[in-house]
Structure 1
Amino acid sequence: MTKIYHNPRCTKSRQSLALLEEKNEEIEIVEYLKSNPTKQEVTELVSMLGIKPLELIRKGEKIYKEEFKGKELSDEAWIEAMVSYPILIERPIVVKNGKAAIGRPIENVIEIL
């Protein structure tokens, strides 16, 4: 099973989903803006991606600029921010066999399939 944290309004997210469909992957679609990911889910994604939580933050989002820009938060606080404001989570994220990739660029997703 391949999981995609998906935002249907995002071009890159739609491209990654289309790639998974083209590869005949069995897909679990998580529309994370409709069903907020838990703290545990975000923590696991960060771990699988091998990055710091701040690296998963979309810094162009209005909420980031208004509430978080210029602040130095702990890793746990950044994770809490993503749980509270899932729009901050970079997208799409594809997970397969304990590995995760951010679909920017889409080649990242191909590497884990």
Structure 2
Amino acid sequence: MITILHNNRCGKSRAALQFLESKGLQFEVRNYLENPLSEVEIEDLLSKLDTSIHNIIRKNEDLWKENFSETTYSDSGLVSILANYPKLLQRPIVIKDNKAIIAREIEKLEKFL
């Protein structure tokens, strides 16, 4: 099963969703702002992405700059921040089986699928 962690206000996320639809693939859309990931789900996602928590946080967001940028956090602290402030999650993320990618480029998404 394919899942897209989607934010409809994001152009890259809308483009990835449109690409999945154009391929006729069956997939699930999870609006992670309305249905945030739990800490356990974030840890699982990191494993599927094979990356560090630092790579999935949007550090250019004002929310990050104003509230979190001045402090150093442990990885578990960052997971907790992301669970509580889902707006900080990189997007879109596409999950397929036990792998996932940050699908900002359609070419990368196409290769992944």
Residues 16-63 of structure 1 show CA distances to partners (whole Å, capped at 9, x for unaligned) of 001111111111000000111111111111111111101100011111
| 1:20-99 equivalence runs, <5 A | 20-99=20-99
Q: Secondary structure at the match of 2:77?
A: helix
Aligned length: 113
Q: Percent identity?
A: 39
Distance 2:50 2:68 in 1: 22
* Structure 2 unaligned regions, length at least 5: none
Distance 1:111 1:39 in 2: 29
Distance 2:77 2:12 in 1: 27
Paired residue for 1:8? 8
Distance 2:107 2:38 in 1: 27
1:26 corresponds to which letter in structure 2?
A: Q
Q: CA RMSD in A?
A: 1.0
TM-score, normalised to structure 2, is: 0.94
* Structure 1 unaligned regions, length at least 5: none
Paired residue for 1:17? 17
Q: Which has the higher contact order (CA 8 A, sep 6+)?
A: 2
Matched, 1:100 2:111: no
2:45 corresponds to which letter in structure 1?
A: L
Q: Secondary structure at the match of 2:87?
A: helix
